[in-house]
Chain A
Amino acid sequence: MVSDGSKLGFYLLLAPILLWLAVLIILPHIGLFVVSISERVGPREYEYGIGNYVTFFEEPLYWRTFARTAIMSIAATALTLILGFPIAYYIAKLTRGRTKTTLFLMCMIPFWVSELVRTFGWMILLRETGVISNALQYLGLVDGPVEMLYNDAAIMVGLVYTSILFMVVPLVTTLDSLDDSLIEAGYDLGGTGAAILREIVIPHAMPGIVSGCIVVFMLSLGNYLTPILLGGKDSLWFTGMIYTQFITRFNWELGSALGFLLLLLSSAVVFLGLKLSRQSLAETMGRA
């Protein structure tokens, strides 16, 4: 499409992206890795070694929190998929025209609002003097105030709430492209609802399911606000530990190692998800 005459134009277009990726993405991550394999041996003296990673595996607090964060993120992803799928299906298949646009927009509004505000809303709802506790007392279901904040269930509620949009949008997009006549054909051939869901709808929605799950998992894993504000004293989250190492303890070497491990975990999950569904990053994320 382009002649040799615009070689200069090509390089001018290439410059910003190279600068952006090199200075803000690639070099910082190499730097992060280098710091993570540095050990402090004296004031302003460092040696290369894997000591920070050894610390991670030897200190149960670190790897338990890591595992806990991963498991809870997986649970949050599964829950988001289960809760979001019927909604996406409803929007994509059972509504038309205006209703569809309205419902779709209503799904997106919470996303436009800062995560801080959403979490704040859940704090008002769930706390001891909060709305739900008072409603339950008013209805006579409980005798005294109930504290629903500061536990893992509250974290779950917050995580699902924060990320459900990223599940619903890709699902609606893929389900929209499923031809109704395929479902009709399934019924004509005597399929039950469950069989059609398993044999036709879910296979068709697979790309949407995978990209939704990847994004939701990553968002949960990397979340900081929700676990800190909704979780209790013992509900540690791995991002919180990284923050502590960097800002409170000023142990950047260990913090970098922890950060790198989190990055490895999230990349591994993305890679696995793409491999399992035989998709490429470009087509999954490019749809965003």
Chain B
Amino acid sequence: MIPTVPQPAFAKWCYRAYVLVFFVYLALPLTVVCVFAFNDSVFPSLPWEGFTWAWFFGTEDPFVGVFHERAILRSIGTSAFIAAWVAGLAVFTGTCNAFLFVRHSFRGKALLYILMLLPLIIPGVILGISILVFSSSIANTLEDATGLWFDGLRPGLILVILGQYSFITTFATLVIAARLQKFDPSLEEAALNLGATRLGAVRQITLPFLMPAIVASAVVAVLMSFENFNTTLMLVGSDSPLTITMFDKLKQGSTPVLNAVSLLLIVASAVLGLLSLMFQKRKD
């Protein structure tokens, strides 16, 4: 079925109807989440009690809005802190990896490339528990040997950052390496001929060329970090990031304040995602 080959009109309309139904299916859950953020009722469900902004700005119990709900605000801060670290670390390692895989040939390169891809096929829960088990056994050994406490190796922010970093780096590597492959090495050679040092040429010619990929992978890293659940769940300590806080509230059955947070998340991630795509497109 392609445009140049005529098809019965009925089949065509059926196909279009299916595509339409599919997109309704895609949009439906997100739409209801957003709509119920404005329902003037303490449950995120029907009946519709009227329109309200209370779930954003409300201060009176039970109508406490997002901007006055301390637990949620604190967890957004925690998530942002984690995301910034993860994005920074992942982009740095990803850039190094891209140069390594695109510019160098060495023994064991194919094997190292496969190992680099492995985090993609390890379920997030397993990544989480393996890092948990490993860091705890190191902490136990160190504590037995020195008699000191090593809280950084116990569930908490550091482990959450490391856990997310462990698989987000692979995405950063793939995005940046794809861009580096398109780079014309003769540009760098020209800079060298003009008297630039090797490092100077990379900094002034290659890195600016890579910038769109670096920014895009940083944005993707932030998004993935913000929304990660499985790995984080296993490594989280007393400071819980947003997804964990929301999960706890969801299990208890929460007010539509959750819808309001979700709406903000949807808007933020759609904007960030589109920006990163546009940024990548424009520079290509």
Chain A contact residues, CB within 8 Å of chain B: 1-2, 6, 9-10, 12-14, 16-17, 20-21, 24-29, 31-32, 35, 83, 86-87, 89-90, 93-94, 103, 105-110, 112-118, 120-125, 127, 129-131, 134, 161, 164, 180, 183-184, 187, 193, 214, 218, 221-225, 229, 239, 242-243, 246-247, 252, 255-256, 259, 262-263, 266-267, 270, 281-282, 285-286, 288
Contacts and interface: CB of A to CB of B under 8 A. Distances in A.
A123 B97 CA distance: 41
Interface string B222-256: 01001101100110000000010011001100000
B84 interface: no
Given A161-B25, A214-B121, A113 B265 contact: yes
A83 B265 CA distance: 27
A184 B2 CA distance: 8
Contacts of A116: 227, 229, 243, 246-247, 250, 262
A49 B132 CA distance: 22
Contacts of A17: 93, 96-97, 100, 112, 116
Interface of B: 1-5, 15, 18-19, 22-23, 25-33, 36, 43-47, 92-93, 96-97, 99-100, 103-106, 110, 112-127, 129-135, 137, 162-163, 165-166, 169, 171, 174, 185, 198, 223, 226-227, 229-230, 233-234, 243, 246-247, 250-251, 258-259, 262, 265-266, 269-270, 272-274, 277
Given A32-B129, A256-B129, A25 B18 contact: no
Contacts of B120: 285, 288
B123 A222 contact: yes
B234 A246 contact: yes
Given A105-B277, A129-B43, A218-B121, A256 B133 contact: yes
Given A35-B133, A229-B251, A282-B110, 5 more contacts: A2-B103, A12-B96, A20-B165, A122-B29, A131-B46
A16 B172 CA distance: 14
B25 A120 contact: no
Nearest to A83: B22
Nearest to A160: B25
Contacts of A12: 96
A138 to B, nearest CB: 10
Contacts of B31: 121
Interface of B is mostly: helix
B123 A252 contact: no
A123 B46 CA distance: 12
Contacts of B233: 224, 243
B242 to A, nearest CB: 8
B5 A184 contact: yes
Contacts of A288: 120, 171, 174
Contacts of A164: 26
Considering residues B1, B106, B116, B274, which has the most beta carbons from chain A within 10 angstroms of its beta carbon? B1
Contact of A161 (B29, B114, B124): B29
A120 B262 contact: yes
Contacts, number: 248
B133 A14 contact: no
A48 to B, nearest CB: 15
Contacts of A282: 110, 113-114, 117
A184 to B, nearest CB: 6
Nearest to B138: A31
Residue in A103, A120, A288 whose Cβ sees the most chain B Cβ within 10 Å: A120
Contacts of B1: 89, 93-94, 193
B123 A221 contact: yes
A24 B162 contact: yes
A184 B116 CA distance: 41
Contact of B97 (A16, A25, A107): A16
A118 B34 CA distance: 11
Contacts of A2: 103-104
A4 to B, nearest CB: 12
10 contacts: A1-B103, A13-B96, A17-B116, A20-B165, A21-B115, A106-B26, A114-B262, A117-B262, A121-B30, A218-B123
B197 to A, nearest CB: 12
Contacts of A29: 122, 130
Given A10-B104, A109-B273, A218-B121, A25 B265 contact: no
A188 to B, nearest CB: 9
A259 to B, nearest CB: 5
Contacts of A266: 121-123
Nearest to A239: B125
Given A16-B96, A117-B30, A117-B265, A281 B117 contact: yes
Contacts of B129: 32, 242, 246, 255-256, 259
